[in-house]
Homo-oligomer: A and B are copies of this chain.
Amino acid sequence: MNPTACLLVIGNEILSGRTQDVNVQYIARRLSETGITLSEVRIIPDIRAVIVRTVTEARAAYDNVFTTGGIGPTHDDITSACVAESFGVPWVHHAETFRLLEAHFAPGEFNAARQRMATMPQGAVPIRNSVSVAPGFSMGNVHVMAGVPRIMRAMFEEVLPTLPHGTPVTSRAWHATGLYEGALAAPLEAIQNHYPTIDIGSYPYRLDETQRGVCLLCKGTDAQAVSAAATAVRDMIARLGFEPYEGEPAKS
């Protein structure tokens, strides 16, 4: 069994619809490639009690917890203090990070707000990165990252290689234009039952106003079984009288 992960997206700007999240897909793909199962994503607001409760639940339930958002210098950046509260440890200046940030700013500019970015749960390990001077941090199995996508990615790529991981997920897809889900459901279920360790997904698409089709995706950690299941899917498409195409269709 691969290790599990939960992602907590912390930020009112996602829940209000102001911002289109793009971090979920990036993290989801990279975890999948690395052999860590993303079991759940929770998008929660900048409310102290909610963040503390959710972090506490998630770190008990999953091998890894990632958070994005809420680690800047302003009053709405409360993730770091909430993680300290979840672990029941003080929220304190991290000496090395403090010095690093102090050296970065011009004299007089390293104010109280910026010093917050050097404040972490006691015992946290900074996640330094090439994009931002202010680091994220890991506290136990909780990995706290920025919400800004390019900073998040830099932090994530630092921490990912340090985590225990399992077998990467491989996938193969076949698609068929003109074929409808309702016509293939029964034979597809038979294939799924024959390959219980493989996750077979059925995703309808439309090419244009009139042309529809379906993409059938086999994935799992056993590459040989993925391949065998995909072959069975291809043969099923042909048996139903449609032309199987490998890969994913260009979708509208």
Contact = CB atoms under 8 A, between A and B. Distances in A.
Nearest to A16: B32
Q: How many copies does the complex hold?
A: 2
Contact of A188 (B20, B75, B199): B75
Contacts of A204: 72, 148
Interface string A111-147: 1111011000000000000000000000000000000
Given A20-B25, A114-B182, A12 B199 contact: yes
B113 A185 contact: yes
A21 B24 contact: yes
Contacts of A17: 24-32, 38
A114 B184 CA distance: 10
User: Size band of the A side of the interface?
Assistant: 35 or more
Interface of A: 9, 12-22, 24-32, 38-46, 50, 72-76, 105, 109, 111-114, 116-117, 148, 169, 171, 181-186, 188-189, 192, 199-204, 217, 219
